[in-house]
Chain A
Amino acid sequence: MSLEVLLAAGVASGTVLLLAALGEILTERSGILNLGVEGMLFVGALAGFKVGLETGNPWLGLVAAVLAGTALALLHAFVTVRLGADQTVSGLALTLLGTGVAMVLGEGLAGGGTGALLPTLTIPLLSAIPFLGPVLFTDQSIMVYVGLLLVPLCWWWVERTRPGLHLRAVGENPTAADALGVNVIRTRVIYTALGGALVGLAGATITMAISPGWNANQTTSGQGWIAVGLVIFARWSPWRALLGAWLIATIRRLALDLQGPDEILGIPNVFHLYQPATFFLDMLPYLLVILVVVLGSREAIRRRLGAPAALGVPWHRGERGL
């Protein structure tokens, strides 16, 4: 196991976290907290896999996954933006609902093969760069490149365009944005839906590219929740989300890899001396998420950087927020 292989695998599986985190960043920048990421990831993973399996066309699967994620997100938008219900609970409900629906519709699909696969690509020229080439640009799934392109695109859209300015205004001070003629309700609905679309895409990336197939309730293994934590670590910045996604995914990968070989760097694998000790390796990614969220929160306090000011606060014209 070489470092390049490990990092390449981390980049690949980090794409799931990255796409989901980018979606959640867009949603949260509009002031809507959507904790239903895990649920949307589940339905996206299932829709992609099932449609891909039945049509044999991965692109149709991708479209289905995006639609499924968007549909759930629109439910959240209706409940929280229109009705002003509590966003935390609505998100939790979305996770329960999405997980349940995916379990029901995915009945009997587990262990049923890999279905349709998204293609992998090797980028000419770029793949010849030493180290970076094999890690980033060799034989990676097309979704890895989609993720890589979306990071600067998201950053540019949010920070450098007029619609992005409106998005930030709605998330920071909806009343002021409304006074300036920005349609707060519509903006929030659109970005909640867009977030759901990206999370759906992330789900399809699991079942059609990173770990192909349907593994029932093991399919997402909490990656939706990890993505929510990642957004806090990333302080709502796409670039830091990229960094965090790669970091966490690489550790996840490492925790798996360390359970395999008899020797690591020429030393006998300590985990083989006592097999149950590998369960401590399984904890690592989740502990790491707690650690990065703690670090992110500390830095946010120190530098007085925080969440979008209106995050989680319902808004109705003419009413004062909480």
Chain B
Amino acid sequence: MSAPATDRGLLPVTLRVERRLGTPRWLPLAATLAAIGAALVLSGLLLALIGADPFAVFAHILGASFGDLYVLSDTLVKATPLILTGLACSLAFRMRLWNIGAEGQLLMGAWGASAVVLLGIFPAGTPGIILIPAMVVGGMVAGALWGGIAGVLRARLNVNEIITTLMLNYVALSFLRFWVFGPWSEGGFQQTVQFPRDAWLGRLTELSWLIPDVAGMTVHGGFLLALVAAGIVWWVLSRTRTGYEIRLAGDNPQAARYAGIDLKRKIVLVFLASGALAGLAGASEVSGTVHRLQDSLALGYGFTGIVIAYLAKFHPLGVIVAAIGFGALILAGREIQPAGIPAMIQGIVLVCVIVADALTRYTLRVVRR
């Protein structure tokens, strides 16, 4: 199990890099925190290298995202789609299925939710209590189908899902553009008309008649939906037979096959569910935040979901925490120049997390010869 010592020095002891047999419970969390710390230091060094003041940038990010209750509300708005894409990635990654298409599934979800409103399925004046659930379902179905394409291709024809999900991201964006530039365009602009009020998810500010302090807070019902989704994903993964089978298939596909688990069905199922979660993110964005469909909707949420999933070690509760952190980064990042800094920090975080992850699997031991 261990690498043989190559150093045959004069000392009676030697250092060996050994694989850990068991991991202490505190280690993964400590490693993640260390990774985040290392990522901050590295990002700071890179920022200093390009002539920015890292302390000013970090202070700005903290102030602009957690400074008071209003910006905290804005942070939660940004975190909402991230929780859902983070869950989408976590669920798929847990079975070692690389769904990198949350971005496209989110766009299709936004399209599906918009179609419910704009295709005139419901007569004008339909109350929100019918319209909004219909939009949520529309978004989830569209996202699920989009994810399902990659799932079926993987299950039936063994087609690499990384490629298909990625390519479908580009296809989804073109599809969306066709609708917002074409049939649904508002007077030639690249966006649809604003949805009727009944299609808007409730926002906290609407409770200001009850609690005056929340006036102006834009956090919306999508955040609650995301929390519920996180709860459901947690419950399914850790408390149901299906979840157990998904985890087993992820940890040891061969054992899962011997145990009689139908892997192909599980693959399609996981892709449908993963796509539905990302689709819900899209529905929540159009219904809760922008109130119309436009092509500048995704902003890399699907890719940030990958980083979030890894940072959270695929645990739904961790996804919520990590998503709020990245929501802050993205919110504050809008005003930071150069514009690529949030993306760069995300990359550095992911590299640090996987390095820390790999290091926790090994231990240095002093061995007597």
- Which of A's residues lie within 8 Å of B, judged by CB? 35, 39, 75, 79, 83-86, 88-90, 92-108, 222, 225-226, 228-229, 232, 274-277, 279-280, 282-283, 286-287, 289-290, 293-294, 297-298, 300-301, 316-319
CB distance from A82 to the nearest CB of B (A): 9
- Which of B's residues lie within 8 Å of A, judged by CB? 1-4, 19, 46, 50, 98, 100, 153, 157-160, 162-164, 166-168, 170-171, 174-175, 177-178, 181-183, 185, 303, 306-307, 310, 337-348, 350-351, 354-355, 357-359, 361-362
Partner of B354, one of A89, A276, A279, A297: A89
Q: Count the A-B residue pairs with Cβ separation under 8 angstroms: how many?
A: 164
* CB-CB nearest in chain A for B343: A100
A274 — which chain B residues lie within 8 A by C-beta? 182
B160 — which chain A residues lie within 8 A by C-beta? 229, 232, 293, 297
CB distance from B307 to the nearest CB of A (A): 7
Among A92, A277, A297, find the residue whose CB has the most chain B CB atoms closer than 10 A: A92
* CB-CB nearest in chain B for A76: B351
Partner of B358, one of A75, A79, A100, A222: A79
Asked whether B50 lies within 8 Å of A222 as measured between CB atoms, the reply is: no
Among B46, B163, B345, find the residue whose CB has the most chain A CB atoms closer than 10 A: B163
* CB-CB nearest in chain B for A33: B162
Partner of B343, one of A79, A103, A277: A103
* CB-CB nearest in chain B for A38: B166
Q: How far is the CA of A168 from the CA of B120 in the complex (A)?
A: 59
B182 — which chain A residues lie within 8 A by C-beta? 274-277, 279
CB distance from A141 to the nearest CB of B (A): 26
Q: How far is the CA of A283 from the CA of B303 in the complex (A)?
A: 20
Q: How far is the CA of A34 from the CA of B299 in the complex (A)?
A: 24
Q: How far is the CA of A85 from the CA of B360 in the complex (A)?
A: 11
Asked whether A89 lies within 8 Å of B174 as measured between CB atoms, the reply is: no
Partner of A293, one of B159, B306, B337: B159
Partner of B348, one of A85, A97, A106, A298: A97
Asked whether B340 lies within 8 Å of A103 as measured between CB atoms, the reply is: yes
* CB-CB nearest in chain A for B342: A100
Asked whether A298 lies within 8 Å of B157 as measured between CB atoms, the reply is: yes
A276 — which chain B residues lie within 8 A by C-beta? 177-178, 181-183, 185
Asked whether B340 lies within 8 Å of A297 as measured between CB atoms, the reply is: no
B170 — which chain A residues lie within 8 A by C-beta? 222, 282-283, 286
Asked whether B1 lies within 8 Å of A319 as measured between CB atoms, the reply is: yes
Given the interface contacts A85-B357, A294-B157, does A222 sit within 8 Å of B166 by beta carbon? Answer: yes
Q: How far is the CA of A149 from the CA of B14 in the complex (A)?
A: 49
Asked whether A107 lies within 8 Å of B3 as measured between CB atoms, the reply is: no
Asked whether A79 lies within 8 Å of B171 as measured between CB atoms, the reply is: no
Q: How far is the CA of A301 from the CA of B157 in the complex (A)?
A: 8
Asked whether B158 lies within 8 Å of A301 as measured between CB atoms, the reply is: yes
Asked whether B174 lies within 8 Å of A79 as measured between CB atoms, the reply is: no
Among B19, B174, B339, find the residue whose CB has the most chain A CB atoms closer than 10 A: B174
Partner of B339, one of A96, A107, A282, A289: A107
Asked whether B344 lies within 8 Å of A279 as measured between CB atoms, the reply is: no
Given the interface contacts A92-B306, A294-B153, does A280 sit within 8 Å of B178 by beta carbon? Answer: yes
Asked whether B167 lies within 8 Å of A319 as measured between CB atoms, the reply is: no
Q: How far is the CA of A98 from the CA of B343 in the complex (A)?
A: 9
CB distance from B358 to the nearest CB of A (A): 4
A90 — which chain B residues lie within 8 A by C-beta? 351, 354
Asked whether A101 lies within 8 Å of B344 as measured between CB atoms, the reply is: yes
Asked whether A318 lies within 8 Å of B2 as measured between CB atoms, the reply is: yes
Asked whether A35 lies within 8 Å of B162 as measured between CB atoms, the reply is: yes
Q: How far is the CA of A62 from the CA of B153 in the complex (A)?
A: 39
28 A-B pairs with C-beta separation under 8 A: A83-B359, A85-B355, A85-B357, A88-B162, A89-B310, A89-B354, A92-B306, A92-B350, A96-B343, A96-B350, A97-B351, A99-B343, A100-B340, A100-B347, A101-B340, A103-B339, A104-B340, A275-B181, A275-B182, A279-B181, A280-B178, A282-B170, A283-B170, A283-B174, A287-B167, A297-B159, A300-B158, A301-B158
List 7 extra interface pairs beyond A97-B351, A101-B344, A105-B50, CB under 8 A: A79-B354, A79-B358, A97-B350, A100-B347, A101-B347, A104-B46, A293-B159
Asked whether B347 lies within 8 Å of A279 as measured between CB atoms, the reply is: no
